[in-house]
Amino acid sequence: MEIKYFDHPHHLLSLSKTKYDLIDCPICLEKLGSIGTQNYNCSTEGCKYGVHESCTKLPREVQSPYHPHPLTLRRPLIHGRLDFYSFKCNGCRKYDKGFVYSCDDCDFKLGLECAFMGPVKVIEGEGGCQGQLRKHPNHQQHPLLLFEKVPNKHYKCPVCLKYCSDPDPTYGCWECCLYLHDGSCFETKLPPQIQHFYHPHPLTLSTTPRNVKCRACYEWSWNIIWYYSCKQCEDFGMDIPCALSVLAASTTTKSESQIQHFLHGHTLSLNKNKLDDQKVADCCVCRKGCTGPTIYVCGRDGNCKNIYFHKSCLEFPQQICHPFHPYHPLTLTLVEQNFYHLKKCNACRKSIHTFILYGHCSFAYICEGHKCDFLLHAECSTVMMPVITYEGHAHLLQFRDHNIENNKLNCSACKSNICESCAFTCLDCDLNLHLLCGPLPHSIKHKYHNVHPLLLTNSPVQEELEDETDEFYCHACEEERDPQLPVYYCAECQFVAEIKCVFSEVR
């Protein structure tokens, strides 16, 4: 059997066994070998054109109830040119591929599935067409129609965020691209305003379509028509399921097993079951492994499936004032970033590894509302190492006596490596200084030895060299010290003090 097909007019197509299984059908862009055993193939030798038999049965022209003009099946035209791969469907507002039903006079296009979707014309039963049109309190501008032939994974119900598809009844408004599952979704009452524990301001029900990133589950909803947003914070949005979950949780009895916390937009549950040994579960605050019974989890699917918190990490305050950034308060919040710009802790200089798209979330103290770009690990916020001001440098310098080797820092003064040594490092830029290259005064007075001034001296000191001792102590703290680091020293009294023990006098 041979046919003449409009997309390949120069050669006849014959129904035969598929010759080229891995070639795409130009209509649906699925492989020719993916549907059935026979396709319409070009009968001319050397021509690899082929079409699924089912695709050739699509009508060349349709009349959609959503457009006044007939729609013709063709390759999509983008800016007047043929585009084989993508177009935006005016029905579901999504980008589709393959052939399209389009209007010759208007820039109107429907995907193959959306072109055959439409309202039910006749509903059998008592009352004739009663029930075909329904009104919804949150959508007063148009009635909602009962739809049939709803394509799968094209239209999301904004109440449950699950796809509408046959055979489940779907009510919708074509003009507004609003589609609802019949039943509980349609009957759900959406309050015009709610107060959510995750945000300080009231959230208002919005009905203007836009792309919304839910701040509770971190999921994007494209062109969603119903969501809750904050009138004071333009970028804060929350989808309907996450917003209503807190209302449902508020009706249950509060206990230690279920808590609401400012770090996550869903209710957290105490995980009483032992985690699988093969499952890697890191706390979102400290990024250390979660073990033991005192672990709080979200338990939802999607981006929330890897939300784990140590109970102790949930005890960090939401806002702190820290000497490393004395200019503004720091707020413990989610750190968002991309692959191309890894944010680092200003104290330890280690990266904050957090990619929400892959379920990895991290929280840190940041300076909100100011362009400081200052970030502090929650654990680093508990380390109160001294900081000083240094003449000739605009930022604070931190005294560090650990993690130098792992960070492989170079001294900005002598250009040599700072390895296994204490140092001064800038909290905001890449300035690093050995102790002797940095801003240490030559002479100080200290409360532990107020008889004579203490002089900055290389270690070991003279009497230690003469005694050939292998034990080195700080007389201020009476603990062993590193003999390779310089000290403050009184030769007359043979008093030796580590720099960190007399740091209050160095500043």
Find the largest Cα–Cα distance for the chain. Answer: 112
The CATH label, of 3.30.60, 1.10.3470, 3.40.50, 1.10.287, for the domain at 61-116 is 3.30.60
Please state, in angstroms and rounded to a whole number, the distance separating the CA atoms of residues 460 and 109: 83
Instruction: Please report the pLDDT score of residue 504 as a whole number.
Output: 62
CA distances from 34 to 8, 18, 31, 51, 124 (A): 21, 10, 5, 11, 38
Spell out the CATH class of 2-56. alpha beta
Domain topology for 443-506: Wheat Germ Agglutinin (Isolectin 2); domain 1 (3.30.60)
Classify residue 380 by its DSSP letter.
G
Instruction: Please report the pLDDT score of residue 93 as a whole number.
Output: 84
Overall size of the chain counted in residues: 507
Instruction: Please report the pLDDT score of residue 107 as a whole number.
Output: 85
Judged on CB neighbours under 10 Å (0-12, 13-18, 19+), 21 is exposed
φ/ψ of residue 66, rounded to 5 = -105, 5
Please state, in angstroms and rounded to a whole number, the distance separating the CA atoms of residues 90 and 111: 8
Residue 22 in contact with residue 33, Cβ under 8 Å?
yes
Helices (H), 219-291: 240-250
Please state, in angstroms and rounded to a whole number, the distance separating the CA atoms of residues 17 and 19: 6
Please state, in angstroms and rounded to a whole number, the distance separating the CA atoms of residues 367 and 335: 11
Please state, in angstroms and rounded to a whole number, the distance separating the CA atoms of residues 284 and 8: 57
* DSSP string computed for 122-176: ---STTTTTTSEEEETTEEEEEEEEEESPPTTTEE-TTT-PEE-TTS-EEEETTT
Residue 36 in contact with residue 14, Cβ under 8 Å?
no
Q: Residue 57 contacts by C-beta under 8 Å, 6 or more apart in sequence?
A: none
Q: Where are the beta strands (DSSP E) in 367-486?
A: 375-377, 387-388, 397-400, 409-410, 417-418, 423-426, 432-434, 443-446, 449-457, 473-474, 479-480
Helices (H), 6-119: 53-56
Residue 363 in contact with residue 285, Cβ under 8 Å?
yes
Judged on CB neighbours under 10 Å (0-12, 13-18, 19+), 307 is buried
Instruction: Please report the pLDDT score of residue 254 as a whole number.
Output: 55
Instruction: Please report the pLDDT score of residue 121 as a whole number.
Output: 58
Instruction: Please report the pLDDT score of residue 249 as a whole number.
Output: 58
Nearest to 158 by CA among 230, 206, 215, 96: 206
CA angle at 381 for the pair 379 and 384, rounded to the nearest 5°: 115
Residue stretches of the chain with pLDDT short of 50: 80, 122-131, 251, 253, 278, 339-340, 355-359, 405
Residue 383 in contact with residue 347, Cβ under 8 Å?
yes
Partners of 432 in beta bridges: 425
3-class secondary structure, 118: strand
Give the gyration radius of the chain's Cα atoms. Answer: 34
Q: Where are the beta strands (DSSP E) in 168-254?
A: 170-173, 178-181, 193-194, 203-206, 210-213, 220-224, 227-229, 237-238
Please state, in angstroms and rounded to a whole number, the distance separating the CA atoms of residues 28 and 30: 5
